[in-house]
Amino acid sequence: MREFIPLATRFVDLPAGFSLRRGGALHGARIAYEAFGKINAARDNVILILTGLSPDAHVASHADNPAPGWWEAMLGPGRPIDTNRWCAICVNSLGSCKGSTGPASVDPMKGEPYRLEFPELSMEDIADAAAFTVRALGVERLACVIGASMGGMSSLALLARHPGLTRSHINISGAVHAQPFSIAIRSLQREAIQSDPHWNLGRYDEERYPKRGMLLSRKLGVISYRSAQEWNSRFGRASLDLDRRAHKKPFGLEFAVEGYLECHARRFLECFDPNCYLYLSRCIDWFDLGESCGCTADDALSRLRPEKALVIGVHTDILFPLHQQRQIAEGLRAGGADVQFLALESAVGHDAFLVDTERFGPPVGEFLSAL
Amino acid sequence: MREFIPLATRFVDLPAGFSLRRGGALHGARIAYEAFGKINAARDNVILILTGLSPDAHVASHADNPAPGWWEAMLGPGRPIDTNRWCAICVNSLGSCKGSTGPASVDPMKGEPYRLEFPELSMEDIADAAAFTVRALGVERLACVIGASMGGMSSLALLARHPGLTRSHINISGAVHAQPFSIAIRSLQREAIQSDPHWNLGRYDEERYPKRGMLLSRKLGVISYRSAQEWNSRFGRASLDLDRRAHKKPFGLEFAVEGYLECHARRFLECFDPNCYLYLSRCIDWFDLGESCGCTADDALSRLRPEKALVIGVHTDILFPLHQQRQIAEGLRAGGADVQFLALESAVGHDAFLVDTERFGPPVGEFLSAL
């Protein structure tokens, strides 16, 4: 089993017997995080960043790890999340394979990887582990929780389960729960991995690794993260260069868009564990803020009560469609929060926050400056 | 290899050495068709129906085959395609497994199924075989060619390659070529089949059949044929009945939408050959009306010159999006045709023409009545 831990990652140990919402408990578990900027004396300048399904805690480059991070343009001195003022802490999700304990980690009770023996993971567990982490670092009140995509969901779970832990909230391309179209996409991604005979009920190794299943799964992911509109202008019907046409295999790749998907998926193969992917993907489908709070999603939102919130969505997002961000904004506003809702015109779809940072940077920077 | 031929299917033999556009020729090939209604003495009441990727030629029930057809509500006495007036001929596409010669058919030269030895199939070949079929039945001029989905593409190819063969044309949810988003979806569907070890480069049999690959492929197809909007109202986040939850398999089906996809895909498994699916799917991606005619797609459309045309698309179609039908309508109009363009509000997506027949019936019926 491979874990993929960036340089400069730090760790917080979860308490022994850390209970999970759907049953079971973890022993010897830890949460990986990276910190950017310095905590001030009042400890009131801390921002928590919760990620999408696949990123690690390395948001941006810094002295201890100069490699570019997954949100490089958004965080650093003078950038929208300005580390001259803020101390940003990004937490790798519980259940991931980027340093936090997950299905690819060794179960200390058995001395071998958990694999499918890892307990059922929920979004609430991810939120609780993140809340524990910031408190363990001596932070009792956050200036802001920022979450995008799955991180938008875990942020809502955190606000619901840890009232008063944050003053403000930025929710980007998030949702109170997944819709059936998105569930269907993720269900197929999981089925692709499970259909690979090398998956072997989670008992793969380097020799027999579910590579074809992971490739298929990730390609389907990329299709759902982008938009038809972007690809029309980017690829059109262009052909793949002849030398990339997979040795004239029957039904091999021919179009530029197929080469792009192949390239993305091969890169992912090198950096994510299949069982962790299954756990995190299912946890997105399970999450339902209303069910979690024992009321309707709208009522649950109205009870979260951050002082201020910024909610951003993108017109071309097919995975977390724009009306879901509008619902978050309206629900928070109904609870009395000072909410700004932004519907961005980006062509990039769900991934826009990772790509169109020139659109996301200014509103995020302005929101944080005004705190 | 299984072929799936409805009762009452009739056949026309293609000429020996029927040449395919990308090279190769077929010997002993035939086209399956079904006829609905009677040809009149002037032989001027014949409508040709070209299908999407998977249907057979059994459009609707009749005395010789009372089973409901794939467009049951649209065709019959007093229905929109009124067999009291019209003789409708539906052709099963060349390359399919529903009676016409395709990869699942026996190659008479070798006495065994073609499988991947079948020559590369193009949309132009499907159109030529259909044109040959109606001429072999003694029809020199059609009253109308009706094509939906892939049939919308083969119709355009037929109009381009057989000028004057039809007076009018109804194009439903068609396109002059596929866009990269749709190519990506179909590419993944093909990859799912090929990734199944039982596919075995096309050399599967009943014992070792690429069932998991076909299931995945079809589920992805269904996702692209429908719309998020339809599924929100139809399934929401409803759970699957407990007894359908696949014996508590890890990561098994839990949501109603997953059960729906599974059910659809299992039905398809029983009635379509995997190699035929690969050939027809690739043929959709390859088709490009402009490239076929040696000019831009818009110029090609303007040269088709049916007297009248009806072009219909659906707002929620993500596979053949509405602007592609608008392009067809404008292109035909630029050539002088009397064109009616309808953008329907159906929530069902690409499949709307199969499901929302109460929306499609009246305009199709009125168009044909006025001929």
Tens of pLDDT, residues B283-339: 999 999 999 999 999 999 999 999 999 999 999 999 999 999 999 999 999 999 999
pLDDT tens profile B158-196: 999 999 999 999 999 999 999 999 999 999 999 999 999
Task: Give A62-70 contacts, CB < 8 A, sequence gap 24+.
Answer: A62/A8, A62/A36, A64/A7, A64/A8, A65/A6, A65/A7, A65/A8, A65/A34, A67/A6, A67/A7, A70/A354
**How many percent of chain B have pLDDT more than 90?**
94
Q: H or E stretch including A148?
A: strand A142-148
CB atoms within 10 A of CB A40: 12
Pairing mode of beta strands B142-148, B46-50: parallel
Q: Which of residues 143-172 of A touch B (CB under 8 A)?
A: none
Give yes or no for A73 touching B (CB within 8 A). Answer: no
Domains contained in chain B, CATH given: 10-178+287-369 (3.40.50.1820), 182-277 (1.10.1740.110)
Backbone angles phi, psi at B35, to 5 degrees: -115, 140
Q: Closest chain A residue to B277 measured between Cα atoms?
A: A251
- Tokens for B30, please give them: 């035939």
| A184 contacts in chain B (CB < 8 Å) | 219, 223, 231, 257-258, 261
Over 70: is that where the pLDDT of B243 sits? no
Q: Which of residues 213-232 of A touch B (CB under 8 A)?
A: 213, 215-216, 219-220, 223, 227-228, 231-232
Q: What is the distance between the alpha carbons of residues B144 and A336, in angstroms, rounded to a whole number?
A: 61
**How many percent of chain B have pLDDT more than 70?**
97
Report angle CA B178, B51, B201 to the nearest 5 degrees.
65
Which of B223, B247, B251, B288 best probes binding to A when mutated, by most A CB atoms within 10 angstroms? B251
Give yes or no for B185 touching A (CB within 8 A). Answer: yes
Which of A87, A166, A180, A92 has its CA nearest to residue A129?
A: A92
Question: Which whole-number Å values give the CA distances from B189 to A232, B17, B67, B319, in the listed order?
Answer: 20, 32, 29, 13
Which of B188, B262, B276, B350 best probes binding to A when mutated, by most A CB atoms within 10 angstroms? B188
What was the pLDDT predicted at A246? 57
Q: What is the distance between the alpha carbons of residues B307 and B168, in angstroms, rounded to a whole number?
A: 6
Task: Decide: B309 and B278 in contact? Cβ < 8 Å.
Answer: no
B201 and A250 in contact by Cβ < 8 A? yes
In this predicted complex, what is the ipTM?
0.95
Q: What is the distance between the alpha carbons of residues A224 and B320, in angstroms, rounded to a whole number?
A: 17
| A257 contacts in chain B (CB < 8 Å) | 180-181, 183-184, 187
What was the pLDDT predicted at B168? 98
Exposure of A66 by Cβ count < 10 A (0-12 exposed, 13-18 middle, 19+ buried)? exposed
| Least CB–CB distance from A288: residue in B202, B213, B237 | B237
| Least CB–CB distance from B177: residue in A180, A197, A237 | A237
Give yes or no for A188 touching B (CB within 8 A). Answer: yes
Over 70: is that where the pLDDT of B246 sits? no
Q: Closest chain B residue to A231 measured between Cα atoms?
A: B180
What was the pLDDT predicted at A7? 73
Below-50 pLDDT ranges, chain A: none
B232 and A180 in contact by Cβ < 8 A? yes
Question: Which whole-number Å values give the CA distances from A367 to A144, A333, A364, B289, in the listed order?
Answer: 10, 16, 5, 50
Which of A190, A13, A53 has its CA nearest to residue A116?
A: A190
pLDDT tens profile B142-161: 999 999 999 999 999 999 99
Looking at residue B333, its amino acid is R
What was the pLDDT predicted at B217? 98
Q: Compute, in degrees rounded to 10, the torsion defined by CA atoms B229, A223, A364, A281.
A: 80
- Tokens for A256, please give them: 């530029």
Pairing mode of beta strands A166-172, B10-13: unpaired
- Tokens for A72, please give them: 């490089």
A184 and B254 in contact by Cβ < 8 A? no
| B320 contacts in chain A (CB < 8 Å) | none
Task: Decide: A93 and A280 in contact? Cβ < 8 Å.
Answer: yes
Choose the catalytic residue: A317, A346, A351, A356: A317
Match 């492929």 to its residue by tokens.
Answer: B217
Q: How many CB pairs under 8 A join A and B?
A: 138
What was the pLDDT predicted at A2? 64
Q: Closest chain B residue to A238 measured between Cα atoms?
A: B180
Give yes or no for A259 touching B (CB within 8 A). Answer: no
Choose the catalytic residue: A149, A217, A302, A346: A149
Q: What is the distance between the alpha carbons of residues A336 and B308, in angstroms, rounded to a whole number?
A: 59
Residues of B involved in catalysis: 149, 317, 350
Pairing mode of beta strands B112-113, B106-107: antiparallel
Can A217 be counted among the known catalytic residues?
Answer: no
What was the pLDDT predicted at B248? 64
Pairing mode of beta strands A75-76, B166-172: unpaired
User: Residue A278 contacts by C-beta under 8 Å, 6 or more apart in sequence?
Assistant: A103, A190, A193, A194, A202, B251
| B257 contacts in chain A (CB < 8 Å) | 180-181, 183-184, 187
Give yes or no for A247 touching B (CB within 8 A). Answer: no
Q: Which pLDDT band holds residue B40 (cuts at 50, 70, 90)?
A: very high
What was the pLDDT predicted at A245? 63
